[in-house]
Copies of this chain bind each other. A is one copy, B any other.
């Protein structure tokens, strides 16, 4: 960052600015070139600190590369965008719950779970047909048969299907049966795949890579958006840190708050994969809503002991009830609507929705 000082700035005030730069953890060099008095601030101050430095009296202007020209950023103060599928909107005050089993194992298993979820007002159903597994000898999913099962479920219970795409060669099959295409954490940097889903007219749920920085995460979304598809839902799912014994990954709650600031895209949280333990799912879901998340995606299984994958982190459907109740309350603190609760209770939309619609007509 380059700080251009006003001509004849008060040296005492400059000293205060320099002290603040140091206090903020940066080093600097002062330069005078062509008559311009400047401070070169070393290191990349975050987006949040630009205004802080601009606010000092001797500062004429701040020169920085942080222009956020990519589509994923809030260039020019762009407002929140949201993604609407089958009349249901994620983002913009609506908090959605996406639930379902890790894997589609059979029609019976899938239907049993879908029925229970449906009764709770849940409209977004997740389930894996193609499964990325660390070991090649683990269950790899039912593939196209799994997709067909999901399709039947969607029709029978009027649900929105979220399922993962692993391979560009399956793109037609997945598009035929799914409403939202999920890109998993292992493929967060599979740019060939990102480009392809960028050409679709379907919403994409993009998980953060397990060790992607915020910048990389957003640039993965940019790979999709720059191909023309702006229906991207981001998903924080825990990052890999030094702690791997007490929980599988560390839910990066700060990322949720930061992404809400710098990007206009909706962001949801997957507490199930993040923690790897069902006991932690409720707490992390509520924390995510408080941090600003636009949705929660949880793994649910009615018979975890029979699950072919992720048994330990799957909630039983009945455990969802207290989660939904609390989530609705926390959402309300922020003037937002936890949609499945509202649906179950007969409410259709959040309080700000009406105003929004009226306003958007004018835009």
- A residues sitting closer than 8 Å to B (CB atoms) are 1-2, 4, 16-17, 19-20, 22-25, 27-29, 31, 33-36, 38, 40, 42-44, 46-49, 52, 55-56, 63-67, 70, 132-139, 166-169, 186-187, 189-193, 195, 210-211, 213-216, 219, 222-223, 226, 238-248, 250-258, 260-261, 274-280, 283-284, 286-292, 304-312, 326, 329-330, 333-334
Contact = CB atoms under 8 A, between A and B. Distances in A.
B22 A138 contact: yes
Given A20-B305, A247-B258, A274-B254, A65 B40 contact: yes
A167 to B, nearest CB: 4
B275 A254 contact: yes
B35 A35 contact: yes
A193 to B, nearest CB: 8
State the 9 A-B residue pairs at the shortest beta-carbon distance, nearest first: A34-B36, A211-B211, A167-B192, A27-B65, A186-B189, A287-B291, A34-B35, A33-B36, A290-B290
A63 B238 CA distance: 30
B189 A219 contact: no
B219 A136 contact: yes
A254 B280 CA distance: 8
B244 A250 contact: no
A135 to B, nearest CB: 5
Contacts of A215: 134, 245-246
20 contacts: A16-B306, A20-B304, A23-B139, A23-B311, A24-B312, A33-B33, A34-B34, A42-B44, A52-B311, A134-B189, A135-B219, A166-B192, A169-B192, A214-B243, A239-B242, A240-B242, A242-B242, A261-B279, A289-B290, A330-B330
Given A29-B65, A40-B2, A65-B28, A137 B277 contact: no
A38 to B, nearest CB: 7
B136 A1 contact: no
Contacts of A311: 20, 23-24, 52
A49 B336 CA distance: 34
A312 B23 contact: yes
Contacts of A213: 242-243, 245-246
A254 B25 CA distance: 24
Contacts of A278: 48
Given A48-B280, A245-B44, A253-B253, A307 B137 contact: no
Nearest to A329: B333
A214 B246 contact: yes
Given A23-B139, A23-B309, 4 more contacts: A2-B31, A27-B65, A42-B65, A137-B226
